[in-house]
Structure 1
Amino acid sequence: MKKYFKLTLISTFIAVLSFFDYLYSKQGNPPNVIIIFTDDLGYGDLGIQGHPSIKTPNIDQMAREGQRWTNFYVAANVCTPSRAALLTGRLPIRSGTDTNEGARVFFPNSAGGLPPEEITIAEMLKKKGYKTTVIGKWHLGHLPEFLPTNQGFDSYFGIPYSNDMDPTTDLTHAEANKNPKIEYFNVPLMRDEKIIERPAQQHTITRRYTGEAQKFITKNRDEPFFLYLAHSMPHVPLFASDDFSGTSKRGLYGDVIEELDWSTGEILNTLKEEEIDDNTLVVFTSDNGPWTVLNINAGSAGPLYGAKATSYEGGMRVPAIFWWPGKIAPNVIMDIGSTLDLFPTISKISGTSLSQDRKYDGYDLSMTLIDNKKSSREEIFYYHGTDIFAARKGDYKLYYYENNPKGYPEKLRKLDEWKLFNIQMDPSERFNILEEYPEKVKEIQNLVDQHKESVDPGKNQMVKKI
């Protein structure tokens, strides 16, 4: 017995040493963090996810070398609240960045943004001496007090809201995006707090984002950094550079995805060239599902039902790949994860602590990433604005509402009778098993009731207009 106890202590000690060994490289720096966040990329839009005509060799290789999560979710089904959740580790209802009244994203005439009292990943990492930047689409408030440089980022290069906003044409949204032109959208390109180009030249924007990211990596190779690379695309309007235009069998949408794949490869190659790949966690994911009402200019949710602006699986389950050579155990993870979990996971691996003055909604996934331990997350609350559209616990998902599976128009309707699905067995949500599993209905309902006690839907609803 004593011998067993001694061996257990030794094993525990070795595990602790190993844990801290992966936290810090031989240079003594905590790990760098890169989040590559695409816009409106569907669950089925990558080669590794089964797309038959879009080539994504760099992302596919990233997935083979890292971990691909098949049950990974965003916290909201549209841009603004999804981004707020990723950066704060908190459901959008807590920050007031999602509402069921009017628009659920910020526009050029919006007076609000991510509340300054929220703590972003960048603000957390700054306390640890990280250099921080955001490159790409922000969409958390375009007024000075809400810009990235006031939210923990040392620098910013990108557009302040979606690339189809501030239109200059009388064409309908669908008409303008069928054959898009740069001059149709007066979206500004900014560096820090200044507009440097208007309208933004979107044919080259993915290439320029990539170059800015590479320069940031090279400049900060000897100190810890956080790079949030939030691509504008494949949100419409779709634009590709000359090198990719007309090259994909999937048409313009495929051109755009294949250029994003190229960009991802360039980022990973830069890390290898600077010899810091073994001390850098890279996460690749999307802000929500595909905008399918745009037909051929939109992506695919693969086998999943629903799309952007819905809380069906196709609207909120997204591709997710974690890459960290020599640290992350390559695998396909079928446990549940969420962009909400990035905040506490990054906190753990960087050796920072979470603020104790607020409620977080994420889980630390580091032991799943490093040791293939089971994910701590067992539930997902599928919000639509301030309404809980559905909830998942384990393999089962219970629906309270329905709406157009294409997302628009968005109007919700309360179900006369709830619906229950086994999401692992039936990811396409085809077979309602409500009557067969009353105990699962009760279990999920109890979970939802407990959760509702922790939120205040009347707080900070930032939908004011200028």
Structure 2
Amino acid sequence: MMFLAALLSILSQGAAVPAPVIRGQANPDALRPNIVLVMADDQGWGDTSFNGHPTLKTPALDEMASEGLRFDRFYAAAAVCSPTRASVLTGRHPFRMRIDGANSGHLPEEEHTLAEMCRELGYATGHFGKWHLGTLTREVIDSNRGGRPNQAQHYSPPWQHGFERCFSTEAKVPTWDPMLNPENGKPYGTRYWDEHGKVVTENLEGDDSRIIMDRALPFITAAATEKRPFLAVIWLHAPHRPVVTGPSREEPYSGTEREDLRRYYAVVAAVDASLARLREHLDRLGVGDDTLLWYTSDNGPEGSAAEGQGSTAGLRGRKRSLYEGGVRVPGLLVWPKQIRKPRRLNCPASTLDTLPTLAEILGVRLAPERPIDGVSLLPLLMADGPDERPGQAALPFVSPKAAALHAGRLKAIRPEPKGKWELYDLVSDPMESRDLAADQPDELARLVELFNAWESGASQSRSR
């Protein structure tokens, strides 16, 4: 923690950093923690026991919440998966990259990713699980877009963006026996690919979260054995549909009447078990103390409130909506060596903040010519740090149909393309039940002006 405080002091004074890095500068004396980024797929804000779910048991996530930083207002950058994933790797809003939705666009070659930044600093880099930022093959029909002639321009696999080890799919797979269609037992049509662009064919039966972790853990072991810091990006498919589980996995939830809910709970429990396995492995290798582990989800839960399986814990909206239930997601960060006192934070934070936070920890000063939309959360990691967004920076959201902007406790949202803007106080009204637009027109105008200014600037980089 003392090193973090010193680092924050040096950077706040604008000290020069000597060693050049592509599109940035790095301080060779900065910290080099191991970094593990875990993202669930479609896990809702309420899909954890630490957030009050009445049935689900998530002991590994609960342990993280009790040990490190627990963000009560953590946001996916978008209400669907592909844009959020782009935000994690770049710190830039997906609107700038024309990644407007799932299966839309691809991660552009000119983006400087977190994996490239870490690799330049000597890190081992690995991606495991769902990619969804472009196709992984031009040769065979694969997943949603791979191999189609009209999608050739979207070939953009993780091994072209700084990842030296890969076990990756283009898009979703079933959460049990991922290569098989659960309805008919035939091939599902989405393959796992390695860093050489080869199809993986072994150890693909059973729980998909376990299968992914079976690849990530040996990568971590190899890096630790070589005394090399590592970046492991582990993007699980669960609990995205098709939600499938093994015969005995539903037993702990036998008291739940709906069969689909029993399956869903079992799949979330498998995610939690994989997290426990990961942390035990890190500790067994002796690297857990200096590993920064960040956990979140890519968006809110699928389906309607009545028929869907995931929970928003009462928040308005779900996946594809910019109301809170579509974008507020679990957010946990542990780093035992530096974060020794647990903190529960109420300020807004986002997947956009991942890269700038890690860049500051690693002593990398990002090049100014590419605007970064996230902010470094380093001040929040301090035991006596503030509970406010650094710089009081606003958080913009854009989808094909809606727009929103968070500024402190207030949120402006335009839920329809030509609809009226609404205003909510998320501290006193997290369920967004009382529109304050008529009562606080000046505040609404201020937030709308902030959004319009951001959108205008982002549109200029979007056109490049």
Bin for the TM-score computed over the shorter chain: 0.7 to 0.9
- Does the Cα contact within 8 Å between 1:40 and 1:288 map onto a contact in 2? yes
| Matching residue within 89, 99, 107 for 1:87 | 89
How far off is 1:13 after superposition? 11
Q: Which residue of 1 is the match for residue 211 of structure 2? A: 208
Q: 1:26-79 CA deviation, whole Å, 9 max, x = no partner? A: x99610110000000000000001101011011101110111101111111111
How far off is 1:186 after superposition? 1.6
- Does the Cα contact within 8 Å between 1:207 and 1:241 map onto a contact in 2? no
Report the residue type matching 2:426 in the other structure.
Answer: I
Q: Which residue of 1 is the match for residue 229 of structure 2? A: 224
Report the residue type matching 1:217 in the other structure.
Answer: I
Aligned runs of 1:165-180 on 2, under 5 Å? 180=183
Q: Secondary structure at the match of 1:247?
A: helix
- Does the Cα contact within 8 Å between 2:5 and 2:382 map onto a contact in 1? no
Report the residue type matching 1:124 in the other structure.
Answer: M
Q: Which residue of 2 is the match for residue 171 of structure 1? A: none
How far off is 1:296 after superposition? 5.2
Once superposed, what is the RMSD of the aligned Cα atoms? 2.8
- Does the Cα contact within 8 Å between 1:182 and 1:201 map onto a contact in 2? no
Matched, 1:277 2:303: no
Q: Which residue of 2 is the match for residue 268 of structure 1? A: 279
How far off is 1:82 after superposition? 1.1
- Does the Cα contact within 8 Å between 1:128 and 1:352 map onto a contact in 2? no
How far off is 1:453 after superposition? 2.5
Change in 2 beyond 3 A, CA 1:147/1:431: same
2:264 and 2:57 map into 1 onto residues whose CA distance is 12
Q: 1:144-180 CA deviation, whole Å, 9 max, x = no partner? A: 5511111100011031112269xxxxxxxxxx99x74
| Matching residue within 456, 459, 463 for 2:459 | 456
| Matching residue within 315, 320, 343 for 1:331 | 343
1:369 and 1:303 map into 2 onto residues whose CA distance is 29
Q: How many residues align?
A: 411
1:30 and 1:298 map into 2 onto residues whose CA distance is 40
How far off is 1:375 after superposition? 2.7
How far off is 1:424 after superposition? 1.2
Report the residue type matching 1:319 in the other structure.
Answer: P
| Matching residue within 252, 261, 270 for 1:247 | 252
How far off is 1:242 after superposition? 5.4
How far off is 1:274 after superposition? 1.2
Report the residue type matching 2:102 in the other structure.
Answer: V
Q: Which residue of 2 is the match for residue 398 of structure 1? A: 412
Change in 2 beyond 3 A, CA 1:14/1:281: closer
Q: Which residue of 2 is the match for residue 381 of structure 1? A: 396
2:417 and 2:64 map into 1 onto residues whose CA distance is 41
Q: Secondary structure at the match of 2:133?
A: coil
Q: Which residue of 1 is the match for residue 144 of structure 2? A: none
Change in 2 beyond 3 A, CA 1:182/1:140: farther
2:435 and 2:248 map into 1 onto residues whose CA distance is 47
Matched, 1:16 2:26: no
Change in 2 beyond 3 A, CA 1:48/1:14: closer
Per the normalisation by structure 2, the TM-score is 0.82
- Does the Cα contact within 8 Å between 2:35 and 2:293 map onto a contact in 1? yes
1:160 and 1:414 map into 2 onto residues whose CA distance is 34
How far off is 1:435 after superposition? 1.7
- Does the Cα contact within 8 Å between 2:129 and 2:212 map onto a contact in 1? yes
Q: Secondary structure at the match of 1:44?
A: coil
- Does the Cα contact within 8 Å between 2:350 and 2:374 map onto a contact in 1? yes
Q: Which residue of 1 is the match for residue 159 of structure 2? A: 149
Return 329-338 or 434-443, whichever deviates more: 434-443
Report the residue type matching 1:152 in the other structure.
Answer: G
Report the residue type matching 1:158 in the other structure.
Answer: S
Report the residue type matching 2:216 in the other structure.
Answer: A
Matched, 1:194 2:198: yes
1:214 and 1:204 map into 2 onto residues whose CA distance is 16
| Matching residue within 34, 38, 41 for 1:39 | 41
Q: 1:67-123 CA deviation, whole Å, 9 max, x = no partner? A: 11011111111111111111111001111111xxxxx222xxx7x521111111101
Q: Secondary structure at the match of 1:158?
A: strand
Q: Which residue of 1 is the match for residue 116 of structure 2? A: 123
How far off is 1:17 after superposition? 6.7
Q: Secondary structure at the match of 2:87?
A: helix
1:434 and 1:294 map into 2 onto residues whose CA distance is 26
1:15 and 1:332 map into 2 onto residues whose CA distance is 19
Report the residue type matching 1:269 in the other structure.
Answer: E
Aligned runs of 1:277-296 on 2, under 5 Å? 277-293=288-304
Q: Which residue of 2 is the match for residue 356 of structure 1? A: 368
Unaligned runs of at least 5 residues, structure 1? 1-11, 21-26, 99-103, 166-175, 402-411, 462-466
Q: Which residue of 2 is the match for residue 24 of structure 1? A: none
Unaligned runs of at least 5 residues, structure 2? 11-28, 138-154
2:4 and 2:459 map into 1 onto residues whose CA distance is 44
1:206 and 1:258 map into 2 onto residues whose CA distance is 10
